[in-house]
Amino acid sequence: MRWIPAIVAVTLLLSHPAWGQTPAPAPSVKVETRAIPGRDVKQVNAQGIIEAPPHVVRAVIADLERYPAFMPYVKESRVVSREASGDVLNYQRLSFGLPFVQDRHYVIRITERAYRDAERPGWAFVWHLEEGLPPGAKSDAVRVSVNNGYWDLRPVANAERTTDVRYCVFTDPAGSLPKWMVGLANTEGIPQLFAAVSTAAASPRYAVPPPPSEGGAVAERPSLAECGEPLSRP
């Protein structure tokens, strides 16, 4: 996610449909939490089915600069750089519209992986918090202290227009945001994130051909370890 992330779960205290679109049927989402030693916040894992092909859901997740149009509470999302490795540095600013709750912002490094599952393509987006903020980022927001996670978009057997979506996020919003509020967002708000992605995926904007084949190469799917405590804290 976080991603979520949009990627991060703290964006999901409330919900709204994707702007200018009719909400798609909300997918059923299973959400679980996992304690991280020494942390007040928990890792969150979610799984749900979105009625769109994996390459369409991939196009939604990859459309970083349009996140403010459909991802809840993403006020700003811009690509800082695209590296030769394919990694993307993405700046996001989240605004909650709640009294006395400051905006949050951060830069994450996003790595996309393509793989084949049962001879059909799947994709994963893994992200980790980067140090610092880009030029032009305003100082009136709180920088998130931890934000790691992933989206894993798996094909479903015998259902070409369906995606098995796995989402994981481990984030600490820092500042004075109450931990109970973060927990509520994690357990009750994640389904709203899935609903936003599902609604966006129903838009003709994302009915695009799948990316070029990776020639049968198999990348590793993301693991829970990649969605946990960072090796060093910024």
2 is a domain residue: no
CA distances from 26 to 23, 70, 124, 195, 229 (A): 8, 14, 22, 5, 31
Q: Which residues of the chain fall short of a pLDDT of 70? A: 1-26, 118, 175-188, 212-219, 229-234
**Is the residue at 232 inside a domain?**
no
In terms of residue numbers, what domain contains 104? 9-227
Q: What is the pLDDT of residue 174?
A: 77
* In a domain? residue 1: no
Taking the model in full, what pTM does it have? 0.84
Nearest Cα to 228, choosing from 30, 35, 21, 20?
Answer: 35
Number of domains composing the chain: 1
Tell me, what's the pLDDT at 209? 84
Task: Report yes or no: 32 and 44 within 8 Å, Cβ to Cβ.
Answer: yes
Taken in order 64, 69, 71, 73, is the CA torsion positive or negative?
positive
**Does 3 reside within a domain?**
no
Q: State how far the Cα of 108 lies from the Cα of 129, in Å rounded to an integer.
A: 4
What CATH number did the domain enclosing 173 receive?
Answer: 3.30.530.20
Q: Mind listing the pLDDT tens digit for each residue in 92-143? A: 999 877 777 889 999 999 999 988 876 788 999 999 999 999 999 999 999 9
Is 168 part of any domain? yes
121 occurs within a structural domain: yes
Token pair in block for residue 82: 């695209």
How far apart (Å, rounded) are the C-alpha atoms in residues 193 and 195? 5
Is 114 inside a domain boundary? yes
pLDDT in tens, 212-221: 655 444 567 8
Question: Residue 4 falls within a domain, yes or no?
Answer: no
